[in-house]
Amino acid sequence: MERIRNISDLERIREQILKKRESEKIVLRTCISTGCRAQKSLKVVSALGSAIEEQGLQDTVKIRKTGCHGFCEMGPIMVVEPENIFYRKVRPEDVNEIISQLTEGGIVERLLWKDPVTKEHITSERELPIYKRQKKKVTYRSGRIDPADIEDYIAANGYSALGKALTFMSPAEVIGTVIASGLRGRGGGGFPAGVKWKMCSEAPSDIRYIIANGDEGDPGAFMDRSLMEGDPHSIIEGMIIGAYAIGARQGFIYVREEYPIAIEHLSIAIRQAEEYGILGNNILGSGCEFNIKIHRGAGAFVCGEETALIISIEGRSGTPRSRPPYPAIEGLWGKPTVINNVETFANIPLIISKGAEAYASVGTERSKGTKVFSLVGKVMNTGLIEVEMGTTLREIIFDIGGGIRKCKLFKAVQTGGPSGGCIPITKIDMPVDYDSLREAGAIMGSGGMIVMDGTSCMVDVARYFINFLMYESCGKCVPCREGLKQMHHILENICEGHGEEDDIKTLIELGQFMMTSSLCGLGSTAPNPVLSTIRHFRSEYESHIYDKKCFAGVCKNLFEYVIDAELCNGCALCRLKCPEGAISGKKKKPHSIDSSKCIKCGICFNSCKQEAILVR
Amino acid sequence: MDIQVIDSILEKYEYRHSDIIGIMQEVQHIENFLPEEALRYISRRMEISLTRIFDIVTFYKAFSLKPRGRHIIKICCGTTCHLGGAVQNLEQINRTLNIKDGGTTDDRMFSLETVNCLGACALAPVVVVGDEYYEAVNAGKIEKILSSYPQEEEK
């Protein structure tokens, strides 16, 4: 292949690629990202390959192995273009039928998505409710291009923002544009990205570094993974533009080891960018030099914190240090360093190519652009979504997410991972942006959104996060290390049924102390899950402490399963499934549970079709 | 462990102190754990104190100083998996294989580890054995999953 020397080379190569692809009449966009791969999409791809060969369709039908489409639960996902037919849960056995229908122009109806309410089949991907209300900008290419093929990225207008920045803009203009766009860091804190770049570029030094943070440690979040797997070049492009703006020659991408596919796709993307002359010396004839190295994390949540991450890249155990000095002034090896989340970098090409004004026209007053969320939990449609900042929770959960599973009641949504909080149903019409989330006691975080229904106990949720953080605290500062331990102790007691009168007060006191005195973001935001659940679900704490009751049916010491004699039709399913033989009753007569034998495993509760088993 | 293999890894990373984490990840990838003699050797060749090496090894969860089984079972304990019943799955594996989190079966077939989040939340609860992902796992499915890994002879 040919090295791209300048912007006209880039345009010429783009045209060549597009011309070469004119013969592709039908494209099968098949997802091979983690979600679909876990559901055996690679087998589907290889079955497709042999079926196409058997039918002699190699010249007209092309399989495109893409990144995440977003509707992960329905995987393996395949979209047939140009008709835009969306097939879900495709199995290798279905492949022959799909291929034979291609030539006849037909549709395999049983693989279409069916609306659970109207029972209607929906053919086109664009018409699916989960996609219809989204605004895919950052994730637009993921699911459309082959992330392991730079030609796909270039064909989809990739690297044209880089060409524009390096050819027509000065570094100061790039920084000015990013500031004007109002882009705030997508990793959680929400610090204006352009301001960070400006600070770094003004810090006196001959060496500067740029780091992309892909250490997505928040449980329940996988936006960064999908982006790194599905569109790695957009992150690289954003990083090169950033490097040009601040004058960095070396960049790092820090990726969790738990994301092997992301590491693989990024490595391929970096290698291809080097081969095409997009990374290396004299990028696009600008005289700018930049290289990127991948650094694999080794399983430490705290390394998502910027100072800990920097120390980890330096080859030490990643414990945070106090700020200031901020990394933008004194970062990696003491040099000024810009560290942004990978999603932040993926926004940069959009800003440069469309201009700051167009970018800022989307979103709210103080939160611009779009945000990617992972919508998971007890919601009908789970997966990855991208919406305009300021979209309400109701739109996200009910219009895009399709409402709560099994027609249960929405109780809360947890955002921001362990540093975030729980937002109750009363705030369902709240717009989702940095500031309103903070006001509600949660944070944007990296964008995990976990929907909970009545079967989730809020005290247990708080205990879960505190337990998580207790293990992940690096132990360097006392408030975080000891505070979490004490909080966990109190919460454990409450869940076991040993809660005492002053527990809530002590939790609040501890939380406020940790917030003001911890060394890094991990400790100072750690009380959020506890404080937000106390604030919005205080009565649940009180019923645990005073009445010794957990009405969600989670804390084993604090509830009993009983069978409602009026609802029970005596089908005996629960009696047969109970591992302890605690259920008795005659066929077609109401059954009953012997609470002295019951171990509260929940098998009967989940299997009863009459919903006759109640938590009391 | 073969000294030459370690040497070639050290060469690849040009003995850079900052790459010590990457070097140990490669060693662990080959050996499945970090043998003490390998760490001592790396410490000598790279002139990094053994204290610092052990500091790093014990800080990062991914490193293991004990030999691990042929199949590593990872139970995802992320929020979505937790709400979906990851704890019950973990308890079921505890009972079936008689090992705890971080433990290895006596025949070195399985090691059990919990991870914070695998980023496959839409498929929760997730259990991974080796490279194989299992979605929407409940306690009842555990035995079936484990039985698909035959008790092979040690190579």
Same domain, residue pair A92 and A72: yes
Same domain, residue pair B94 and B137: yes
* Distance in Å from the first CA to the final CA of chain A: 69
Give percent of chain A above pLDDT 90: 82
Nearest CA distance, B79 vs chain A (angstrom) = 5
Same domain, residue pair A294 and A211: yes
Same domain, residue pair B52 and B14: yes
Q: Which of A296, A325, A360 is the last residue of a domain?
A: A360
Same domain, residue pair A383 and A318: no
Does the distance separating the beta carbons of B133 and A316 come in below 8 Å? no
Q: B155 pLDDT band (50/70/90 cuts)?
A: very low
Residue B12 counted as domain residue: yes
- Considering only CB atoms, B119 lies closest to which of A259, A297, A300, namely A259
Most confident of A213-227, A243-257, A432-446, B106-120: A243-257
Same domain, residue pair A296 and A195: yes
Same domain, residue pair B122 and B81: yes
CATH number at residue A291: 3.40.50.11540
Same domain, residue pair A380 and A426: yes
Same domain, residue pair A46 and A118: yes
For chain A, positions 273-332, list CB contacts with chain B under 8 A. Answer: 295-301, 312-319
pLDDT tens-digit readout, A401-413: 999 988 788 999 9
For chain A, positions 466-485, list CB contacts with chain B under 8 A. Answer: 468, 472, 474
Q: A376 pLDDT band (50/70/90 cuts)?
A: very high
Regarding an ipTM greater than 0.95, the answer is: no
pLDDT tens-digit readout, A146-192: 999 999 999 999 999 999 999 999 999 999 999 999 999 998 788 99
Q: How far apart are CA A136 and CA A371, in angstroms?
A: 9
Give the range of the structural domain holding residue A594, as residue numbers without chain letter.
Answer: 560-615
Does the distance separating the beta carbons of A295 and B62 come in below 8 Å? no
Across the range A14-40, mean pLDDT stands at 92
Same domain, residue pair B16 and B49: yes
Does the distance separating the beta carbons of A450 and B117 come in below 8 Å? no
Mutate to test the interface with A, among B19, B52, B59, B89 (most CBs of A within 10 A): B59
Structural domain count of chain A: 5
* pLDDT score for B87: 86
Nearest CA distance, A314 vs chain B (angstrom) = 5
Give percent of chain A above pLDDT 70: 100
Nearest CA distance, B105 vs chain A (angstrom) = 23
Q: How far apart are CA A75 and CA A217, in angstroms?
A: 24
pLDDT at residue B144 is higher than 90: no
CATH number at residue B113: 3.40.30.10
Q: A1 pLDDT band (50/70/90 cuts)?
A: low
In the three-class reduction of DSSP (H, G, I as helix; E, B as strand; rest coil), residue A138 is classed as coil
Same domain, residue pair A277 and A165: yes
Q: How far apart are CA B75 and CA B84, in angstroms?
A: 12
Residue B153 counted as domain residue: no
Q: Which residues of A303-332 are buried (b: 16+ CB within 10 A; e: fewer)?
A: bbbbbbbbbbbebbbbbbeeeeebbbbbbb
pLDDT at residue A130 is higher than 80: yes
For chain A, positions 34-93, list CB contacts with chain B under 8 A. Answer: 34-35, 37-39, 72-73, 75
Residue B8 counted as domain residue: yes
Beta-ladder partners of A597: none
Q: Which of A328, A360, A392 is the last residue of a domain?
A: A360
Residue A13 counted as domain residue: no
* pLDDT score for A333: 96
Same domain, residue pair B80 and B124: yes
Residue B155 counted as domain residue: no
pLDDT at residue A233 is higher than 70: yes
Across the range B31-52, mean pLDDT stands at 95
Same domain, residue pair B79 and B18: no
CATH number at residue A395: 3.10.20.600
Same domain, residue pair A410 and A481: no
Look at A40-54, A104-118, A338-352 and tell me which has the smallest mean pLDDT.
Answer: A104-118
Question: Does the CB of A447 have a partner CB in chain B at under 8 Å?
Answer: no
* pLDDT score for B154: 44
Q: B153 pLDDT band (50/70/90 cuts)?
A: very low
Same domain, residue pair B77 and B142: yes
DSSP A519-583: SSHHHHHTTHHHHHHHHHHHHHHHHHHTS---TTS-SGGG--EEE-TTT-----HHHHH-TT--E
- The burial of A226, by beta-carbon neighbours within 10 Å (0-12 exposed, 13-18 middle, 19 or more buried), is given as buried
Residue A354 counted as domain residue: yes
Same domain, residue pair B78 and B44: no
Q: How far apart are CA B109 and CA B72, in angstroms?
A: 8
| Strand-pair category, B71-76 with B132-134 | unpaired
Nearest CA in chain A to B18: A315
Structural domain count of chain B: 2
Q: How far apart are CA A349 and CA A235, in angstroms?
A: 9
* pLDDT score for B152: 54
Same domain, residue pair A520 and A600: no
Does the distance separating the beta carbons of A414 and B79 come in below 8 Å? yes
Same domain, residue pair A582 and A496: no
Peptide bond between residue A325 and the one before it cis (omega within 30 degrees of 0)? yes
Across the range A535-563, mean pLDDT stands at 94
Degrees (nearest 5) of the Cα angle A544, A546, A550? 25
pLDDT at residue A386 is higher than 80: yes
- Considering only CB atoms, A73 lies closest to which of B25, B60, B122, namely B122
- Considering only CB atoms, B60 lies closest to which of A218, A299, A468, namely A299
Residue A446 counted as domain residue: yes
Same domain, residue pair A409 and A463: no
Give the range of the structural domain holding residue B51, as residue numbers without chain letter.
Answer: 3-59
Across the range A508-529, mean pLDDT stands at 94
